[in-house]
Amino acid sequence: MRCLVTGVAGFIGSHLARRLLDEGHEVVGIDCFTNYYAREVKERNLRDIVSHPRFRLAEADLASADLSPLLDGVRVVFHQAAQPGVTGSWGAQFHDYVRNNIVATQRILEAVKERPLDKFVYASSSSVYGDVRRYPTPETALPRPRSPYGVTKLAAEHLCQLYHRNYGVPVIALRYFTVYGPGQRPDMAFHRFVAGILAGQELVVYGDGEQTRDFTYVSDVVTANLLAMASPLTGVSLNIGGGTTTSVNRVLRLLESLCGRKALVRHQPTRPGEVERTLADISRAKRQLGYRPSVRPEDGLAQLRGSDAIYLG
């Protein structure tokens, strides 16, 4: 099967492409290497697949390129490309979020709407819930994003469901809850923590560290995408979480013991857009997709310690 992975050079997109190739699929990957973080990190994400005979990389911007030629023969689209990051989405940078999250999604939906697609999987986010204070959070909760990033991810999710209802695009939106693993974006907390501990540098923890997150190991997220591809389900949004809740302080303790060193922690006030707690109700994904997260935080974090997983530059 020929699949298209947008954002293929990113953290999740590169893991997904690797798994699709391992399972015998053909992958067309699109990425425009935004400068949100270093290009060399993204090139490293693709290092072991870039010359695979069933992989083709198109360096193209979803918000402006002619997407039609890239869709020839494609049966499944995994739309992972986005401008990520909650706290950077305020102010002048909002423009990048509108462009890479909303405009890019609308353009790829337009490009696929008349094509015979088997599935369109959209990478949504727990950030759509924001101020919903119901735990575990079910998909039926009315989203109330707390950041401009969350607003753009929700807007794009609405666009996907709109194209499903009007043009029959076979959409499934997966709302990922904080994803971690080797190749995690350098701006994300676990990555910063491991890099800081290994380098003996001070780490910044926003808030008192007692905020909790539902963390999802990247291989579980990739599996959820493959389950969505195989499922007859369309027109739904499903939570994809790790099934446990862990505080930032507990993560730090686990990482200290894995790295064999103490973390030097400096606390700073919580930043606008961040939430105190996330916890996914994943019963629907379990029931409807057969999704079962299988990696515990202590096992997943151990994979992050390897020097190849961390960008120290």
Selected catalytic residue, list 97, 149, 163, 291: 149
Encoded one letter per residue, x for contact with ligand NAD by CB under 6 A and - for no contact, window 54-93 reads -------xxx----------------xxxxx---------
Residues from 115 through 174 that contact ligand NAD (CB under 6 A) = 123, 125, 153
C-beta closer to ligand NAD: residue 119 or 153: 153
* Residues forming beta bridges with residue 25, ordered by sequence position: none
Q: How many CA atoms lie within 13 A of 119 on its CB side?
A: 23
Q: How many residues bind ligand NAD (CB under 6 A)?
A: 30
CB of 302 to ligand NAD, least distance (A): 19
Encoded one letter per residue, x for contact with ligand NAD by CB under 6 A and - for no contact, window 171-200 reads -----x-xx-----x---------------
- 122 catalytic? Reply is no
C-beta closer to ligand NAD: residue 211 or 261: 211
| Of the candidate residues 26, 57, 76, 100, the single one contacting ligand NAD (CB under 6 A) | 100
CB of 275 to ligand NAD, least distance (A): 13
| Of the candidate residues 3, 4, 5, 10, the single one contacting ligand NAD (CB under 6 A) | 10
C-beta closer to ligand NAD: residue 42 or 146: 42
7 binds ligand NAD (CB under 6 A): yes
Cα–Cα distances (Å) from 278 to 112, 133, 230, 250, in that order, read 33, 9, 28, 15
CB of 168 to ligand NAD, least distance (A): 23
Phi and psi for 237 in degrees, rounded to 5?
Answer: -120, 130
Choose the stretch contacting ligand NAD; rule: CB under 6 A; options: 9-17, 256-264, 284-292, 305-313: 9-17
Residues from 27 through 46 that contact ligand NAD (CB under 6 A) = 30-34, 36, 42
C-beta closer to ligand NAD: residue 121 or 203: 121
Cα–Cα distances (Å) from 93 to 36, 60, 251, in that order, read 11, 21, 30
Encoded one letter per residue, x for contact with ligand NAD by CB under 6 A and - for no contact, window 247-286 reads ----------------------------------------
CB of 162 to ligand NAD, least distance (A): 18
Choose the stretch contacting ligand NAD; rule: CB under 6 A; options: 24-32, 132-140, 162-170, 243-251: 24-32
b/e 5-24 (16+ beta carbons within 10 angstroms → b): bbbbbbbbbbbbbbbbbeee
Residues in touch with ligand NAD (CB under 6 A): 7, 9-13, 30-34, 36, 42, 61-63, 80-84, 100, 104, 123, 125, 153, 176, 178-179, 185
Catalytic positions, written as ranges: 149
